[in-house]
Structure 1
């Protein structure tokens, strides 16, 4: 709104006069705004009611139409300690006999107590204890392999052990193989169980070789019988088995070695590229920056140099020098030529691609340096630092500022990469020496190493016999060691098997020692032997038929049975299934509760007190009232918005009429009163509650709780009639509401009121208000121009009078 200075000559309050002249226009606009506000409140009132009805329509009303909603059953058991039973709608009424023969359980392996040995002393095992530190482990963990077969996860998985593997890592490997596992540090035992109960969750854990079996025993995870079986298997290896196992292990290790070598080669390539490009370029441009710096010296009173600070002017020059390099690279004719050719779809050769990559890498490096060293927060001062030598003298140095540290940091990164490359190459050489102890490290270096010459290609030499295979692989250190290892495992297994057999003979003769019993797992509650419990399915017998489940839960012909404990065939449990009278009764009662709430709400809105003389408040009117007064005023209007509304009356009357209809079932007519459901008399019902229904005998209804409960009796004696009646009744109400909530030109789908029409009316109000605002503005401008002309005329008149007065003075 423009600022107007008026009335200077006339002395009139022009603004007040203009506002009075356009007041009739303003009143019209205000009335339109009030009408629009009232319409908005009415829309909200209808939305609230529509939400209530729609919720009822899609919820309880819709469910009551379906006979399946009344198919409620209840079941009880004669002994609740044996089983818990629930019935669905499909359950058959009557008595059934249940015998729980067996409960489902998961497979468990409780490990024996284990210990560790550190520095020759016995120690407790923790999650970070290495397998090589476990008492009795020896070299078993170095290359030992376990086989895990978990039925639930399918297939057999291997767990490879290493000396450096920790207990926590071992437990994690078992989990990855499909088992549940945990190490209990308090009890010093490893606990393993299947992830699911029943036979489907069963598992096996065994050594894939002698080392694996030995590792399981050291970890307390080998039962006495399993140990004997495993040792029996290994002791029975033929020479061909020894060679085959050694060859398989060899090929596995070579594949692992080569995978490691590939990783080292890839890492070296990345580090070498960083040193030769990214880091080298950054160092180059950082040194260009540093070379442009000038330092201003500061001395103390004794003339000692105490600091050197890079001047702001030189820093600006340094920054400019780096940016000039960036501009030169970006604007290079050669770079533009290569980019244009590439953009045109031409394929650059390898040399040209490398050349364009170098341009981009140098630009990125220079921009990185400019951004890092152009930072105003950098410390650019070198400070004197004195250190006292052993002889009492002092040595003074100027400590690096942030720019010096930045350049040295790049150099340090380059050096670290070079050291890592050298370390990786040493690791590659060592892997080759694992196979060939005479391997020549000069065969390749970091610059010439590729997969073609760095990967191990030595094969396991074939041999017809064990001796022949040993001789053929004499120059192959890894193959020779594996053959010797598997041969030693066979001999150790023979010795262990003999020990088991001897201990068993002594036990049979009653002459077993404590060591013999420990070996056999007899009376060993705290030794290294494990305890195994196999998983099993639950088994029940219902009416003579047998059912199994991998859990203790069964679903049989509409019954959900949870087996809790076992009972004998001579003492079966009786399951009694019947119609759930209370369930059906409560469903009907809840239906009427929601229906009554909606009908009472409709009557309350329809019969609301008149708000004649009340209109929405303007801002000026609100300023003159308290918040409480405003709230009461607006509530009065909002409560009356649906008063005597024709649409509301039609909906309410229709619902009430449909609820009073009668339906013939098997030759007899029924209505709600047949089941003790009716409205109260005019004088008994409360205000706006004349359309609400009450159920005789309903304990929650003080008005009718003392009457005979006809509804519950009907459900118990003739449930089919009850279901058919209420299904027909609610279907009628549902269908009628469906028609009334259908989409029309004036209303949207599932809407009881003309929401589209109201939205149009609201939009029309907005248009009219905008038009009247324009009219008011135009009228104001018209009157202000008139008054402005009057003020100009008066000003000229006053000026002329002043001139005449001067002539006569």
Structure 2
């Protein structure tokens, strides 16, 4: 910024002069700021109006355009302790005789309370231990010596759990969940709680314990041997078990193909691990021989001992890898080479393209040294083992074995009800059941406690021997209330638009500056700004178009009903008011809440009772037209977004332009102010120079 000389020589109040000069220029920026503020206020107003208009469009016009909105029925039950009823618009009027014989129920199983089981403490003594989710079924006495299978059937789903020495309570619970059941083991109660997720006879489930036959067991063992099961990781073993379970559930071509793929992938991964381990061992031996040597030393007593020492190559490799340390002794260096350097070098070698290819080739073509058969052989052996197992499973069922489930407080469950024993410690089963209802003598069923029949919804509360009467009739008051609610919402949104469109002018009112606000009270500022905001949509063309559309559609549309007569809204007793300043608000003549027309005949109510079809046809057609016309008003354009009644895009673009203009004005005004100060500074300098020359001349003249 240039040095500003403020009247030192001229004596002028430069600051005030520049401020006065700038005031006129700043007013141009202020005008742009005012336009931006007003436009932002307008955006806010339109945003609120748009939300209300869209809500009216979807929630009221969107609903009342359908004839079904005028077909409301009501249903009354003579005994709500047995059932309650509601009626759709399609329900036939009349009286229904209903008897609830049975309520739907979901199958529910509660196991017997499990006792403790014996484990060994640290001293090897037998101790009683409570059952938990981690308890193994074998510890509870479940026979795992053969091929025990717990089969769970729920609907079309069948899940098998192969029980071995590692199968836990949690595994059993998870399989129940996999079958689509609710299941848990409550450790405090020491019981299993199992239930169907839905009520109804179709949701019945069964749980049974079987053992594979000798041939099936042999086929299973052969498949496990083919997979070298005992060497697999626990995760891969779990996958193999799942394959066995899936094959027992289905022996289709698709199931077998999926089994081939899954097991072959595991076999390939196992082969790669074996080959990698083989090369790891080879490389480890290579680097060990290269870096470490052994020597025989004799102590003072003549005893010979073999000791390990680093070779020169080992010492150099340690330095090259930056793993040496000045404070190390030989034993330290030897330990680093054995425990770190060799492993690093092996890992590095295995990552080279050469070893990667060697491993891939061994997995594909086999390796005698690594004990890996070629992939084609592995794949073929797996296919044979899978096919053999699937054939044995499909040839017959396993041997029944009910004793296992008793160890879990259960028994084979076929869906039948089971009462708990007299001591209150045994298994209890609630059988799945459908609701059974007689409607006018006909027996109907439902999988839950709700029954839908002929447009009637029956909510069943309790079974009873007595008949309940349900009466269905027209609910004219509900239809009337729906139309009244629609009219009220229409008037509400139209009133708000009228307020803005017919607002008083705010000419001469501009948004206040910060300095102006400081000179006014908060109440005065609010009143000032409200005056401006209320007038922003005065005589707005977009607003006028929406209002005109709504008024014209509602009061100008005529409908020819099925009786051949032509009706308008006025023929239904819905009309505009006596005061023209209401600008199109609607009144329902004879409505008790309408101050102007409460004493008139309620034509709408009479028509709903006497000729509801006319009301239905006229109202639905007029509201359909309104819905369609409002939809057209929301059509997306280059100036407005979809589902928007105003030019939101255009306004946003204009606000952005105002922001750009204001920024440019700030720069322009700053430059202008600097220019004024430079000019006054130049004047001060010139005056100072002139004054100096005058003084010098005067001194020469001796004055």
The TM tier, using the shorter chain, reads 0.5 to 0.7
Choose the corresponding residue for 1:619, options 504, 514, 531: 514
1:147 paired to 2:150: yes
1:584 paired to 2:483: no
1:606 paired to 2:501: yes
**C-alpha deviation, 1:720, in angstroms:** 0.6
- Look up the match of 2:42: 42
- Look up the match of 1:542: 439
Matches of 1:490 and 1:736 in 2, distance apart?
A: 73
- Look up the match of 2:301: none
CA contact (8 A) 2:104 2:434 kept: yes
**C-alpha deviation, 1:492, in angstroms:** 12
Q: 1:566 to 1:352 in 2, by over 3 A?
A: closer
Choose the corresponding residue for 2:221, options 226, 246, 250: 250
1:291 paired to 2:310: no
Q: 1:804 to 1:354 in 2, by over 3 A?
A: farther
For 1:276-675, list aligned pairs within 5 A. Answer: 288=322, 291-292=325-326, 350=354, 450-452=371-373, 524-526=421-423, 530-568=427-465, 571-645=466-540, 648-649=543-544, 651-652=546-547, 655-661=550-556, 663=559, 665=561, 666=563, 668=565, 670-675=567-572
- Look up the match of 2:173: 171
For structure 1, list consecutive stretches of 5 or more residues without a partner in the other structure.
Answer: 211-240, 295-324, 330-334, 340-347, 356-446, 460-488, 497-520
Q: Please give the per-residue CA displacement for 1:751-777, whole angstroms capped at 9, x wherever unaligned.
A: 555556656765665666566556645
- Look up the match of 2:18: 18
CA contact (8 A) 1:150 1:201 kept: no
CA contact (8 A) 1:151 1:200 kept: no
1:714 paired to 2:607: yes
Q: Please give the per-residue CA displacement for 1:729-772, whole angstroms capped at 9, x wherever unaligned.
A: 32444455455555677666655555566567656656665665
Matches of 2:594 and 2:276 in 1, distance apart?
A: 82
Q: Please give the per-residue CA displacement for 1:588-627, whole angstroms capped at 9, x wherever unaligned.
A: 1211111111122123223434433321122332344454
Choose the corresponding residue for 1:198, options 197, 200, 204: 200
CA contact (8 A) 2:134 2:168 kept: yes
**C-alpha deviation, 1:670, in angstroms:** 4.4
Q: 1:169 to 1:793 in 2, by over 3 A?
A: same
Matches of 1:658 and 1:349 in 2, distance apart?
A: 79
CA contact (8 A) 2:420 2:427 kept: no
CA contact (8 A) 2:274 2:370 kept: no
For 1:768-787, list aligned pairs within 5 A. Answer: 776=669, 779-780=672-673, 782-787=675-680
- Look up the match of 2:303: none
- Look up the match of 1:183: 185
- Look up the match of 1:82: 82
Q: 1:260 to 1:104 in 2, by over 3 A?
A: farther
CA contact (8 A) 1:25 1:772 kept: no
SS of match in other structure, 1:612: coil
1:112 paired to 2:112: yes
Q: 1:165 to 1:116 in 2, by over 3 A?
A: farther
**C-alpha deviation, 1:638, in angstroms:** 0.7
SS of match in other structure, 2:512: coil
**C-alpha deviation, 1:802, in angstroms:** 5.1
For 1:721-740, list aligned pairs within 5 A. Answer: 721-738=614-631, 740=633
Q: 1:788 to 1:126 in 2, by over 3 A?
A: closer
**C-alpha deviation, 1:204, in angstroms:** 1.9
Q: 1:585 to 1:206 in 2, by over 3 A?
A: same
**C-alpha deviation, 1:160, in angstroms:** 2.5
Matches of 1:700 and 1:354 in 2, distance apart?
A: 92
Q: Please give the per-residue CA displacement for 1:288-335, whole angstroms capped at 9, x wherever unaligned.
A: 4661579xxxxxxxxxxxxxxxxxxxxxxxxxxxxxx9xxx9xxxxx9
CA contact (8 A) 1:113 1:187 kept: yes
Q: 1:696 to 1:451 in 2, by over 3 A?
A: farther
Matches of 1:491 and 1:710 in 2, distance apart?
A: 79
Q: Please give the per-residue CA displacement for 1:329-379, whole angstroms capped at 9, x wherever unaligned.
A: 9xxxxx9xxx9xxxxxxxx96159899xxxxxxxxxxxxxxxxxxxxxxxx
Choose the corresponding residue for 2:686, options 770, 782, 793: 793
Matches of 1:491 and 1:144 in 2, distance apart?
A: 11
Matches of 1:151 and 1:693 in 2, distance apart?
A: 60
Tell me which moved more, 11-20 or 762-771: 762-771
Tell me which moved more, 199-208 or 688-697: 688-697
Matches of 1:643 and 1:201 in 2, distance apart?
A: 66
Matches of 1:184 and 1:634 in 2, distance apart?
A: 67
CA contact (8 A) 2:274 2:371 kept: no
- Look up the match of 2:414: none
Matches of 1:286 and 1:89 in 2, distance apart?
A: 89
Matches of 2:505 and 2:570 in 1, distance apart?
A: 36
**C-alpha deviation, 1:55, in angstroms:** 2.7
- Look up the match of 2:332: none
Matches of 1:558 and 1:652 in 2, distance apart?
A: 40
Q: 1:773 to 1:163 in 2, by over 3 A?
A: closer
CA contact (8 A) 1:128 1:166 kept: yes
CA contact (8 A) 2:590 2:602 kept: yes
**C-alpha deviation, 1:726, in angstroms:** 1.4
- Look up the match of 2:247: none
TM-score computed with the length of structure 2 as normaliser: 0.67
- Look up the match of 1:57: 57
Matches of 2:91 and 2:229 in 1, distance apart?
A: 64
**C-alpha deviation, 1:635, in angstroms:** 1.6
Q: 1:696 to 1:145 in 2, by over 3 A?
A: farther
Matches of 1:188 and 1:708 in 2, distance apart?
A: 73
Q: 1:706 to 1:259 in 2, by over 3 A?
A: farther
Matches of 2:223 and 2:422 in 1, distance apart?
A: 39
**C-alpha deviation, 1:273, in angstroms:** 8.9
**C-alpha deviation, 1:538, in angstroms:** 3.1
- Look up the match of 1:437: none
CA contact (8 A) 2:64 2:623 kept: yes
TM-score computed with the length of structure 1 as normaliser: 0.59
CA contact (8 A) 2:4 2:681 kept: no
Matches of 2:697 and 2:51 in 1, distance apart?
A: 82
CA contact (8 A) 1:585 1:712 kept: yes
SS of match in other structure, 1:180: strand
Matches of 2:46 and 2:369 in 1, distance apart?
A: 83
Matches of 1:659 and 1:806 in 2, distance apart?
A: 98
RMSD: 4.9
1:695 paired to 2:588: yes
SS of match in other structure, 1:208: strand
Q: 1:771 to 1:94 in 2, by over 3 A?
A: same
Matches of 1:44 and 1:669 in 2, distance apart?
A: 43
- Look up the match of 2:209: 207
Matches of 2:161 and 2:138 in 1, distance apart?
A: 16
CA contact (8 A) 2:5 2:684 kept: no
**C-alpha deviation, 1:722, in angstroms:** 1.0
Q: 1:529 to 1:59 in 2, by over 3 A?
A: closer
CA contact (8 A) 2:587 2:594 kept: yes
Matches of 1:267 and 1:52 in 2, distance apart?
A: 67
Matches of 2:494 and 2:480 in 1, distance apart?
A: 21
CA contact (8 A) 1:153 1:178 kept: no
